[in-house]
């Protein structure tokens, strides 16, 4: 269910709703068009190249490099309690980009443009509802089910 | 193709306008523009309103503005492309007049923003990024431009001081603009002491939310030629888009929509960037003005930092930019901004800019960006 994705979710209904189910189980999924084979991240149900609506999920490695980042001090509604937080934009090894928070394995002082990173699926353990996201971590960091 | 002329301009006070409704703000600018154009409002055959509806309690804004301006029963409609809504209104009026459907139109950019809180505005504006994959991480509008700034600094060696030199320049001119929100000069030291917003940005890198309105009266060539005012001709209209998501941009050091829109505007007007004598660019954040110098071809890609450091965008520099204070100092009532830029350019072309007057201003340009560059409108305006 896509409503699980993000601390605050603004688009609970989507054709790629199973993305969040996969993420909850530790898998980062992109999409692959069944007609022309074009791959996307973020995943999309409708192919930008051949316009086909027939797609399948493809698991991505999560290997990534940092393109740019910023630390947000003035936070919007719903995020005040986690500010300041640092977001990064990364190029994924397979294709596409994603934007995410830096996780605990990388102190702010160690962030460098172009550094290698691992995108790791996460569950908000401190929240009662199921809330999933992904974070940017040191290469080699693995997903693990909460104890 | 026949030409479309701007024959009247009006500009209200920008700021925290808790004294007026949005239609009252619109009226201030409209009255001034109609009086400036010396036209009978009854001759106006339509209006276009540039505004972003989310900020207003009033639904369907054109209706209430049209009634308050006394323009019923002629047509009106809204244009909305985030912070470029005002320029979209001008483009739409240009299209309306070029099509022959209209001969004399009022274009009103108006916005009241300060009725909602800053965190709410941060949330609303952050959602001009892509909500499905980006806003879930608490992105804000300053954060997106901060991502551009960090990359620009990394790739081209643009410095923190160069970013703030944009703010210093725009406050310098804003201090000389009676319609500006902040009529006060600032120093780099003062800017560096301000609160952090989204690294590298601090408060003085960011424009301020504001209330305000601006208006231009636009006419067909036939009508404009009878005007008693010197006509400013809208000779180049360029418009382009870029991906909603920052994740699908070809690079993060400029706005592809601004490059495309300016190429189109230059081509249509038959000029190049070197012919622009005065420009108004969308400096919602300091880095945005530096990227605009480059995207518009005032300097090479990557040279924007040096361009401001060498004061090439001051009134006596190579290409004067934001000599009215820009969004930074005037304030940014988002729907009004594109029209406000146009008002300033017309003033400059007419030689009515007072102590802010740029020499030999015969060709002017506006560069109005919506969102984080999803939309960009570039207009070339020329005097007779």
| The predicted structure's pLDDT at residue A147 | 37
Q: How many residues does chain B have?
A: 384
Q: Is A145 a residue whose pLDDT tops 60?
A: no
Q: Are A74 and B151 a contacting pair at CB < 8 A?
A: no
Give the pairing type, strands B232-241 and B4-11. Answer: antiparallel
How many beta-carbon contacts under 8 Å exist across A and B?
114
CB < 8 Å to B197, chain A:
73-74
Q: How distant is the Cα of B200 from the closest Cα of chain A, in angstroms?
A: 7
**Are residues A51 and A72 located together in one domain of the fold?**
no
Contact B297, B212 (CB under 8 A): no
Contact B129, B144 (CB under 8 A): yes
**Are residues A49 and A94 located together in one domain of the fold?**
no
Q: What is the number of alpha carbons within 13 Å of residue A37 lying toward its C-beta?
A: 0
pLDDT digits (tens, 9 = 90+) for A53-88: 999 999 999 999 999 999 999 998 889 999 999 999
Q: What is the dihedral of CA B304, B309, B315, B317, to 10 degrees?
A: -80
Q: Are B137 and A133 a contacting pair at CB < 8 A?
A: yes
CB < 8 Å to A72, chain B:
138-140, 142-143, 198
Q: Are B143 and A77 a contacting pair at CB < 8 A?
A: no
For B4-116+209-225, CATH gives 3.40.47.10
CB < 8 Å to A87, chain B:
137-139, 143, 147
**Are residues A81 and A48 located together in one domain of the fold?**
no
Residues of A at the B interface, defined by Cβ within 8 angstroms: 5-11, 14, 42, 67-80, 82-85, 87, 89, 96-101, 113, 133
User: Cβ of B274: how many Cβ atoms within 10 Å?
Assistant: 10
Which residues of B are part of the catalytic machinery? 83, 332
Nearest to A22 by CA among A139, A136, A143: A143
pLDDT digits (tens, 9 = 90+) for A91-108: 999 999 999 999 999 999
* Residue among A11, A67, A73 whose CB faces B198 most closely: A73
Chosen domain end from A39, A59, A79: A59
User: Which structural domain, as residue segments, surrounds residue A22?
Assistant: 2-59
* Whole-structure pTM value: 0.95
The verdict on residue A142 lying in a domain is no
Q: What is the CA radius of gyration of chain B?
A: 19
Nearest to A58 by CA among A32, A90, A40: A32
B140 reaches A (C-beta below 8 A): yes
**Cα separation of B338 and B334, whole Å?**
8
Nearest to A120 by CA among A132, A133, A135, A107: A135
The residues near A81 (Cβ < 8 Å, ≥ 6 apart) are: none
* Residue among A73, A80, A89 whose CB faces B196 most closely: A73
Q: Are A68 and B147 a contacting pair at CB < 8 A?
A: yes
Tokens of B61: 């804004």
The verdict on residue A19 lying in a domain is yes
The verdict on residue A90 lying in a domain is yes
Q: Are A78 and B247 a contacting pair at CB < 8 A?
A: no
Q: Which residue do the tokens 């809208």 mark?
A: B234
Q: Are A87 and B139 a contacting pair at CB < 8 A?
A: yes
Nearest to B380 by CA among B294, B270, B297, B230: B270
CA–CA distances in Å: residue B202 to residues B156, B188, B370: 21, 11, 22
B138 reaches A (C-beta below 8 A): yes
**Are residues A132 and A79 located together in one domain of the fold?**
yes
For residue B252, the 8-state DSSP code is: S
**Cα separation of B187 and B202, whole Å?**
13
Chosen domain end from A59, A77, A92: A59
- Burial classification of residue B150, based on how many CB atoms lie within 10 Å of its CB (0-12 exposed, 13-18 middle, 19 or more buried): buried
Nearest to B97 by CA among B131, B46, B60: B46
Contact B322, B173 (CB under 8 A): yes
Q: Which residue do the tokens 């970013």 mark?
A: B163
Q: Are B122 and A74 a contacting pair at CB < 8 A?
A: yes
CB < 8 Å to A96, chain B:
247
**Are residues A41 and A67 located together in one domain of the fold?**
no
| The predicted structure's pLDDT at residue A141 | 94
| The predicted structure's pLDDT at residue B212 | 97
CATH label of the domain that carries residue A49: 2.20.28
Number of domain units in chain A? 2
For chain B, how long is the longest CA-to-CA vector? 56
Q: What is the CA radius of gyration of chain A?
A: 16
Tokens of B164: 């703030």
Write out the H or E segment, with its range, that includes residue A40. Answer: strand A39-40
What percent helix, strand, coil does chain B show, rounded to 5? 40, 20, 40
Q: How distant is the Cα of B68 from the closest Cα of chain A, in angstroms?
A: 34
CB < 8 Å to B127, chain A:
10
Taken in order B254, B260, B261, B264, the sign of the CA dihedral is: positive
Nearest to B317 by CA among B375, B276, B368, B283: B276
For residue B55, the 8-state DSSP code is: G
Kindly give the confidence (pLDDT) of every residue in chain B, 384 residues in length, as a single tens digit, with 9 standing for 90 and above. Answer: 899 999 999 999 999 999 999 999 999 999 999 999 999 999 999 999 999 998 888 889 999 999 999 999 999 999 999 999 999 999 999 999 999 999 999 999 999 998 888 778 878 887 888 899 999 999 999 999 999 999 999 999 999 999 999 999 999 999 999 999 999 999 999 999 999 999 999 999 999 999 999 999 999 999 999 998 899 999 999 999 999 999 999 999 999 999 999 999 999 999 999 999 999 999 999 999 999 999 999 999 999 999 999 999 999 999 999 999 999 999 999 999 999 999 999 999 999 999 999 999 999 999 999 999 999 999 999 998
Q: Are B119 and A85 a contacting pair at CB < 8 A?
A: no
Q: Are B138 and A99 a contacting pair at CB < 8 A?
A: no
* Residue among B138, B200, B248 whose CB faces A72 most closely: B138
**Are residues A69 and A54 located together in one domain of the fold?**
no
Taken in order B14, B18, B23, B28, the sign of the CA dihedral is: negative
**Cα separation of B238 and B236, whole Å?**
6
Chosen domain end from A59, A82, A107: A59
Q: How many residues does chain A have?
A: 147
The verdict on residue A147 lying in a domain is no
Contact B216, B339 (CB under 8 A): yes
CATH label of the domain that carries residue A132: 2.40.50
Contact B334, B52 (CB under 8 A): yes
Q: Where are the beta strands (DSSP E) in B231-308?
A: 232-241, 278-281
The verdict on residue A53 lying in a domain is yes
Mutate to test the interface with A, among B118, B121, B135, B136 (most CBs of A within 10 A): B136
Question: Would you tell me which residues 179-218 of chain B have a C-beta closer than 8 angstroms to some C-beta of chain A?
Answer: 195-200
End-to-end CA distance of chain B: 17
């Amino acid at each position: 269910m896509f409503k699980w994705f993000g601390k605050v979710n603004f688009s609970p209904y989507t054709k790629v709703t199973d993305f969040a189910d996969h993420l909850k189980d530790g898998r980062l999924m992109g999409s692959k068009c069944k007609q022309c084979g074009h791959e996307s991240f973020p995943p999309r149900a409708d192919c930008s190249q051949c316009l086909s609506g027939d797609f399948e999920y493809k698991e991505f490695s999560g290997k990534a490099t940092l393109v740019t980042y910023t630390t947000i001090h003035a936070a919007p509604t719903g995020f005040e309690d986690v500010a300041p937080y640092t977001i990064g934009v990364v190029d994924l090894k397979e294709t596409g980009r994603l934007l995410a928070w830096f996780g605990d394995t990388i102190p702010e002082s160690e962030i460098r443009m172009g550094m290698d990173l691992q995108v790791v699926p996460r569950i908000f353990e401190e929240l009662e509802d199921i809330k999933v996201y992904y974070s940017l971590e040191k290469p080699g960091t693995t997903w693990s089910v909460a104890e | 193709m026949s030409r479309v002329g701007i024959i009247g301009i009006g500009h209200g006070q920008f700021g925290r306008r808790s004294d007026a409704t949005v239609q009252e703000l619109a009226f201030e600018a409209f009255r001034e523009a109609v009086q400036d154009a010396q036209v009978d409002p009854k001759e106006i055959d339509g209006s276009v309103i540039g505004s972003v509806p989310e900020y207003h309690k009033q639904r369907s804004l054109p209706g209430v503005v049209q009634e308050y301006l006394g323009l019923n029963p002629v047509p009106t409609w809204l244009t909305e492309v985030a912070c470029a809504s005002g320029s979209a209104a001008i483009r739409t009026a240009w299209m309306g007049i070029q099509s022959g459907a209209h001969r004399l139109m009022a274009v009103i950019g108006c916005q009241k923003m300060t009725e909602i809180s800053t965190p709410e505005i941060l949330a609303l504006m952050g959602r001009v990024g892509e909500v499905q994959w980006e806003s879930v991480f608490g992105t804000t509008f300053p954060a997106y431009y901060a991502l551009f700034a960090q990359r620009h600094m990394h790739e081209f060696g643009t410095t923190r001081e160069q970013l703030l030199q944009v703010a210093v320049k725009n406050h310098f001119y804003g201090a000389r603009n009676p319609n500006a929100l902040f009529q006060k000069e600032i120093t780099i030291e003062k800017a560096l002491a301000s609160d952090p917003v989204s690294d590298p940005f601090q408060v003085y890198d960011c424009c301020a939310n504001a209330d305000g309105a601006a208006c231009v009266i636009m006419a067909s060539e036939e009508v404009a030629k009878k005007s008693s005012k010197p006509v400013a001709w809208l000779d180049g209209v360029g418009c382009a888009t870029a991906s909603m998501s920052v994740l699908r941009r070809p690079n993060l050091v400029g706005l592809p929509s601004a490059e495309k829109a300016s190429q189109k505007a230059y081509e249509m007007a038959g000029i190049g960037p070197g012919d622009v004598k005065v420009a108004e660019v969308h400096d919602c954040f300091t880095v945005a003005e530096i990227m605009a110098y480059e995207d518009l071809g005032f300097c090479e890609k990557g040279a924007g930092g040096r361009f401001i450091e060498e004061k090439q965008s001051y009134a006596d520099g190579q290409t004067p930019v934001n000599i009215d204070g820009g969004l930074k100092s005037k304030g940014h009532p988002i729907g009004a901004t594109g029209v406000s830029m146009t008002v300033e350019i017309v003033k400059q072309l007419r030689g009515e800019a007072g102590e802010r007057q740029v020499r030999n201003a015969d060709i002017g340009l506006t560069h109005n960006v919506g969102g984080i560059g999803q939309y960009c409108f570039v207009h070339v305006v020329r005097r007779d």
